[in-house]
Structure 1
Amino acid sequence: MLAKIKKQPPGRLIAIGFALVILIGALLLMLPVSVRNDAKVHFIDALFTSTSAVCVTGLISIDVADHFTFFGQVVVAALIQIGGLGVTSIGVGLILAARKNIGIKGRILVKEALNIDGIKGIVRLVKAVLLMTFCFELAGVILSFIVFVQDYPVLKALWISIFHSIAAFNNSGFDILGGLRNLIPYQSNVLLNLTTCGLIIFGGLGFLVILDILKKRSFRKLTLHSKVVLSTTLALLLGGTLLLKATENVTWMGAFFQSVSARTAGFSTYPIGEFTNAGLFTLIVLMFIGASPGSTGGGIKTSTFFVLVQHVRSLFTKRHIGAFRRSIPFEVFSKACTVTLLSMLLVCGGTFLLCVLEPEYSFVQLMFEEVSAFGTVGLSTGITPDLGVASKLVLIFTMFAGRVGAFTLLTLWIDRPLPNIRYTEESITIG
């Protein structure tokens, strides 16, 4: 059995690994030691919470602080960390800690998980990723502790800070403040808002981009990928902030925070359910685009959105697809179109099912929930806890597909060589 599993394609192994971690997490959350004495947790809610944690989403059907003990909260934090770094990266880290060598198969798995081109320098990359994660999260713990220690006893404030830092850097909107409040009590706290935004942004840039920045230290010297990610991220943050400020009764800091958080983090400092349709639509667009490749976030990714925009621009300017004095291969544009189309089909299918299963909610509410699950964001208008079992299963599948990737999920069971036969081309009318 083990030999058969080892022969499976890398993408299939990664998906199986995520599924196993989700199942183990759900079983751990069902243990009596994980559940508070005054709370009751059904398996569907444990599975939903585990999936949301491993897929670094943050959607919750039950409040983590109100239903789980310290042990249960540790399990959730561990699942978030595993989901953010990736099952394979954690596995390689453990192998390195045991001072054993990493085989070719393991290197290929990490290559697929981190979405990089080759296996050269994989071990050094994993070490850098683990060290980088520890440094960012430690900084987040220290800065968050300064805020939380003012409202909680020292040990509890420390644990809240650790949990919050892990959730923020891994772009997962979980909190353990209780009462389904998220970060609303701290909407005017500048330090916590900026700390959370910083962790979300760096976690969403992607490890390769951060390493490139640390190495080159000049925008002009960065790789094309890093330039695309940074410029697109900045444009989305500014555009989202301006649109949210224009459509909602929020402060500039609140608009900026929600613009950052909608890029797959899921924290909120304002009740999302009270937003206007224009504000919700703005968040839906940001959630669908998501973070960047090789990061802890989801969505179709910033680079995909950038390539599509550049293609439209090329149609008007009569130039080849490219940016920053570099051309972008047509294969990249083709993949971007495929990823976007599959993602739209997944979101549309999920939204349709939710509309059938939950007719009492508005279309915007259900679509918001579905896109939030796909983008592994975690923002909600407040309807998640009241959804039926079937609707929760739809969101569970959507979160899993969003984390693994719609393109990867579709090709998991297709293992056939490219055909040698090509038919004669014939044009069709478009538009």
Structure 2
Amino acid sequence: MINFKKMSPGRIIVLGFALVVLTGTTLLYLPISSNEGVSVTLVDALFTATSAVCVTGLVAVDLANTFNVFGRTVVAILIQIGGLGVASIGVAFILLSRKNVGLKERILVKESMNLNSLQGMVRLVKSIITTTVFFEGTGIILSFLVFSKDYSPLSALGISIFHSISAFNNAGFDILGDFKNLTPYKDNVLLNLTTCGLIIFGGLGFYAIREIKQKKHFKTFGVNTKIVITMTVTLLTLGTVLLKCTENISWLGAFFQSTSARTAGFNTYPLGDFSTSGLLTLIFLMFVGASPGSTGGGIKTTTAFVIFKSIYSISANKNCTAFKRKIPKESIIKAFVIMTLAGLLVCFNTFLICLIEPQYTFLQVLFETVSGFGTVGLSTGITPYLADLSKIILSFTMFCGRLGPLTMMCIWFSRTPSSLSYPEEKITIG
């Protein structure tokens, strides 16, 4: 019997996500989820459920051609749970039932959102729900204006709801059919900008969004929010310029792909036709990903910022600072640990898939693996044709990417600090 009271918050969060994945797998595997005459293998059901809960967007089967309305609804619900987080959903249900939120639930939200304090957890969850409803509701209305021109009103509404949930939660799933994603709408300014807006705000992080709403001026924001905004603007601009320079696409397309690579996974151009330099640009953006406490994955914008700043400070023999604040050593160490663990995970899983799939190039496999870790969902087109073992490896990669490599490591080790200490001695480095 599992004793939840004695279990660490990290293990409860991992177990919660795993249970949601297994539930989703079971539902998608059942015949009631599939179109008539279509059967789904257990591995493909597991892969789809994992991709949905981890808000990735990599697909082994085409959603529109494989799943019926019930199956697509299951996928949309899994995306919503995965994007908001199991802990936040649990607290929301407690609030709806008008019960008190206990200390254990507050700690779970704090751990799942990577926050430093328990203060204001209930208010934060309320803000998360209202923010989600506002942005997804707005996305549904604007998307409907586009899809209603090509589909019947009822079909357009269903597609708009699914698309808005997928975009705000940085999932990248589509139900347009034939793996075409948003390529038919590459020149539609309204749908492109609506999707980009949902992706950007979904990737900022709920804590940052709440602070922006409350304080409104950049100078009054906390350091974390300033870093999130600065890195978001920098990466979006850098990605747009690099993609425009390396690929034969429009400025709108370059901006869209730069935004989507930040863990969303939509594409308006076939990525299999991109050059090596273009794919490397996308790999970098996918690896960095979104911001802490958001619906996206990756090592996070704050992690990348701290790494870059610490490298500069060490080279210049200065203190590591940001916006007139000193960055703690604990944060610097944690940033390098996260990047190292993420790099090892990506490299090892890429190596395994390369062994299993020798017919694909190293860059193709690396792209899919980084896309899985960053919970992005962009693909060069090889995912549906991978062997079952490769899909299982990618599923594990997505799971680790959504929960974070440090969280996955910590569930196996005690986080209680040891009282044992040894004499210090310097080691020659470099």
Please indicate, yes or no, whether the TM-score normalized by the shorter chain is above 0.5. yes
- Whether the aligned pair in 1 keeps the contact of 2:31 and 2:39 (CA below 8 Å) is no
Alpha-carbon distance in 2 for matches of 1:95, 1:329 = 36
Q: Which amino acid in 2 is paired with 1:372?
A: S
Q: Which amino acid in 1 is paired with 2:225?
A: S
Q: How far has the Cα of 1:227 moved from its partner?
A: 0.3
Q: How does 1:31-430 map to 2 (within 5 A)?
A: 31-415=30-414, 417-430=416-429
Is the partner of 1:5 in helix, strand or coil?
coil
Alpha-carbon distance in 2 for matches of 1:149, 1:166 = 18
Q: Which amino acid in 2 is paired with 1:113?
A: S
Alpha-carbon distance in 2 for matches of 1:233, 1:176 = 28
Alpha-carbon distance in 1 for matches of 2:256, 2:242 = 13
Q: How far has the Cα of 1:417 moved from its partner?
A: 2.7
Q: Which amino acid in 2 is paired with 1:56?
A: V
Alpha-carbon distance in 2 for matches of 1:5, 1:351 = 35
Q: Percent identity?
A: 58
Alpha-carbon distance in 2 for matches of 1:419, 1:100 = 38
- Whether the aligned pair in 1 keeps the contact of 2:54 and 2:399 (CA below 8 Å) is yes
- Whether the aligned pair in 1 keeps the contact of 2:27 and 2:74 (CA below 8 Å) is yes
Alpha-carbon distance in 1 for matches of 2:37, 2:253 = 35
The alignment yields a C-alpha RMSD, in angstroms, of 0.8
Q: Deviation digits for residues 239-265 of structure 1, max 9, x if unmatched?
A: 000110010010000000000000000
Q: How far has the Cα of 1:31 moved from its partner?
A: 1.7
Alpha-carbon distance in 1 for matches of 2:220, 2:317 = 27
Q: How far has the Cα of 1:328 moved from its partner?
A: 0.5
Alpha-carbon distance in 2 for matches of 1:391, 1:288 = 20
Alpha-carbon distance in 2 for matches of 1:29, 1:379 = 22
Alpha-carbon distance in 2 for matches of 1:88, 1:182 = 31
Alpha-carbon distance in 1 for matches of 2:414, 2:72 = 39
Q: How far has the Cα of 1:427 moved from its partner?
A: 1.7
**Would you identify which runs of 4 or more consecutive aligned residues in structure 1 move more than 4 Å?**
none
Is the partner of 1:80 in helix, strand or coil?
helix
Q: How far has the Cα of 1:315 moved from its partner?
A: 2.5
Alpha-carbon distance in 2 for matches of 1:361, 1:158 = 39
Q: TM-score, normalised by structure 2?
A: 0.99
Is the partner of 2:281 in helix, strand or coil?
helix
Alpha-carbon distance in 2 for matches of 1:54, 1:416 = 27
Alpha-carbon distance in 1 for matches of 2:25, 2:163 = 21
- Whether the aligned pair in 1 keeps the contact of 2:364 and 2:380 (CA below 8 Å) is yes
Deviates more, 1:97-106 or 1:53-62: 97-106
Is the partner of 1:253 in helix, strand or coil?
helix
Q: How far has the Cα of 1:339 moved from its partner?
A: 0.3
Q: How far has the Cα of 1:416 moved from its partner?
A: 5.4
Alpha-carbon distance in 2 for matches of 1:271, 1:292 = 27
Alpha-carbon distance in 1 for matches of 2:277, 2:412 = 40
Q: Deviation digits for residues 16-73 of structure 1, max 9, x if unmatched?
A: 0000000000100112211111312101000000000000000000011110000000
Q: Which amino acid in 1 is paired with 2:238?
A: G
Alpha-carbon distance in 2 for matches of 1:38, 1:183 = 26
Q: Which amino acid in 1 is paired with 2:151?
A: Y
Alpha-carbon distance in 2 for matches of 1:419, 1:119 = 24
Q: How far has the Cα of 1:268 moved from its partner?
A: 0.2
Q: How far has the Cα of 1:419 moved from its partner?
A: 1.9
Alpha-carbon distance in 1 for matches of 2:366, 2:13 = 28
Is the partner of 2:32 in helix, strand or coil?
coil
Matched pairs, number:
430
Q: Deviation digits for residues 152-190 of structure 1, max 9, x if unmatched?
A: 000000010000000000000100000000000000000
Alpha-carbon distance in 1 for matches of 2:214, 2:10 = 30
- Whether the aligned pair in 1 keeps the contact of 2:186 and 2:192 (CA below 8 Å) is yes
Is the partner of 2:33 in helix, strand or coil?
coil
Q: How far has the Cα of 1:85 moved from its partner?
A: 0.2
Alpha-carbon distance in 2 for matches of 1:57, 1:219 = 31
Is the partner of 1:33 in helix, strand or coil?
helix
- Whether the aligned pair in 1 keeps the contact of 2:54 and 2:82 (CA below 8 Å) is yes
Q: Which amino acid in 2 is paired with 1:67?
A: T
Q: Which residue matches 1:8?
A: 7
Alpha-carbon distance in 1 for matches of 2:305, 2:417 = 29
